Amino acid sequence: MRSTKRIALASILVMASSILISAEGHVVILDYHTFLGNSKSNLDYSEKELGDELDEIAAMGFKFVSLDDAIAGRISGDENIVVTIDDGNHTIYQAFKDVFEPRGIKPYLFIYPAIVRGHVRYALTPERIMLLSESGCGIGAHGYHHNPVTDKAWVKDPKDFMTEINKPGPALAAITGQAPTMFAYPFGVYSKRAEDAIASAGYAWGFAADDKVTPVDFSDTSLDRMAVPRTITYRYLRKSLLAELARIAEAGSPPSFELPVPAPAYGPEAPAANSQAASIGSEAAPSKVATP
């Protein structure tokens, strides 16, 4: 009798764990950049374009969830969206107030602090970063000078490579009072050496980025915690992005697939029109910024 009870209890526990795992579901992590309304930059959205896109996604049945909730499994189903914003452009603050906050969306901000500490005019100020953090936005690292952390970068200058990984954490902690636990690779590109280095630096999660729409299951034990995929939101490919999200909403989470129209290059050797510097309009970003 006791053996039967044990078997029954074990079966109930297995069923309960299966329900818990399936309840966690999938999430698509979108990667925005700036909100200048600059029609010349593929990485830039006007506030109206941003609001329209978010409303279309919500109309498909997607829920906007925080990155922390997605990682902790406090989501269900496959129609979940996490919003992340890279770099730390000054337009993020007003876009949060005008677009994200009224919709109950709390983006995760990946910032490279050289432009903040250097008081560069196109960057968020420390005070506004703190206000965004207090409003519920997560703050993560995005390198220090926004230089790549590829094997090529290591060969060129190992010291600069390690600066990108080791320096942003203390700099952001000095602003928010908390050391960041998330690291988004500059330009979305990374290397095995970079994965090992951010893990050694104390980061719990690393995030890549490309033009693929890849639903993520944070409960999947095979997921690479140091290279979680995100989808770069190219403004010129809005229709393609929305079409792929509609497919997910209609059919559940499929394997990752590329947007049907090739996206312009986005990386350390990308053309100037699509580089990180171009994404901030005419305010060209130097590769390094002198800090106090």
- Mean per-residue pLDDT, 160-187: 98
Residue 106 neighbours by CB distance under 10 Å: 22
**Secondary structure letter of residue 12 according to DSSP:** H
- Amino acid at the residue 216: V
SS3 275: coil
For residue 292, the model assigns a pLDDT of 37
The band of 64, judged by pLDDT with boundaries at 50, 70 and 90, is very high
| Calpha distance 227→210 (Å, rounded) | 11
Residue 185: phi and psi, rounded to 5, are -65, 135
Q: Which of 16-20, 214-218, 247-251 holds the top average pLDDT?
A: 214-218
Average pLDDT over residues 93-120: 98
**Architecture of the domain whose range is 24-280:** Alpha-Beta Barrel (3.20)
CA-based max dimension of the chain = 77
CB atoms closer than 10 angstroms to residue 145 = 21
pLDDT score at 189: 97
pLDDT of residue 252: 63
Q: pLDDT digits over 184-236, tens only?
A: 999 999 999 999 999 999 999 999 999 999 999 999 999 999 999 999 999 99
For the chain, helix (H) and strand (E) counts, in that order, are 11, 10
| Token representation of residue 141 | 């690292």
Of residues 119 and 253, more confidence is placed in: 119
